[in-house]
Amino acid sequence: MARWGDMADVSFGGDKKVGRSVLTGAEKRLIDWAVPRIPKWIEGWHLTLATIPISLGIIAASWLAVDDFRWLWAVSFFIFLQWVTDSLDGSLGRYRNFGTVKWGYYMDHFLDYVFLCAILIGYSLMLPDAFKYLQFFLLAIFGAFMVNSYLAFAATNQFRIAHLGIGPTEIRLVFIGVNTLLILLGKTHLAGALPYVLVASFFGLCVVVYRTQKEIWAMDMQNKSSHEKK
């Protein structure tokens, strides 16, 4: 996620992430190693916009996978490629002090939603008809996690994308794992597991929203107390 440079407005916290996921430490070490080695002709905004053709590639490969599940290896490759570009874009902008902090925040996270939609569209092409409606619920729940992050950022000026130890990197690994199981087991087995994924995701969303509103409530009460003392 985007960190677009030291030229950021000090009042804007969208270029900084708070919270840690299981893989945050390893991911940061890899990013710190890779950023100085990126060719000069590649800029952070190139990497951000790469999500657009990657998302189209996911949909195309998923359509081909309807007749041959081996095309899901291509889908997994596109997911991995999006992780690479999405992880490096902001750090590269910060390293080179490019300065497009707010543009990076906006485009990076809007395209994250486009990427998520591309994956779910791809799965909807492959799922049995009886399970396709569950895709809409998945999109609603995953979208709610994003909305929670953006609304919480507006209230706290802290941008949190990792919840309960799970962040975008872990979610991508889940999708790659699902693709692998689809190739090995076929869609019948995994389609039946989709309702359980929905229930677990909804429970996680409830926990995250409860914690977020509790934190914002405490901030309001602290501000109220400070004003009353003046």
**Non-local CB neighbours of 144 within 8 Å, separated by 6+ positions:** 205, 209
Mean pLDDT in the chain? Answer: 84
Residues 211-224 have a mean pLDDT of 90
* pLDDT tens per residue, range 78-130: 999 999 999 898 888 888 887 778 898 899 989 999 999 999 899 888 877 77
Rg (CA), the chain: 19
Query: In whole angstroms, what separates CA 130 from the centre of its chain?
Result: 28
| Class of the domain covering 17-229 | mainly alpha
Q: Residue 1 above 60 pLDDT?
A: no
Question: Which of the pair, 143 or 230, is modelled with greater confidence?
Answer: 143
Rounded to whole angstroms, how far apart are CA atoms 146 and 138?
13
**What pLDDT score was predicted for residue 7?**
43
Residue 156 identity: T
Model pLDDT, residue 184: 85
Read off the tokens for 161: 């994308």
Among the ranges given (8-12, 121-125, 170-174, 212-216), the one the predictor scored with the smallest mean pLDDT: 8-12
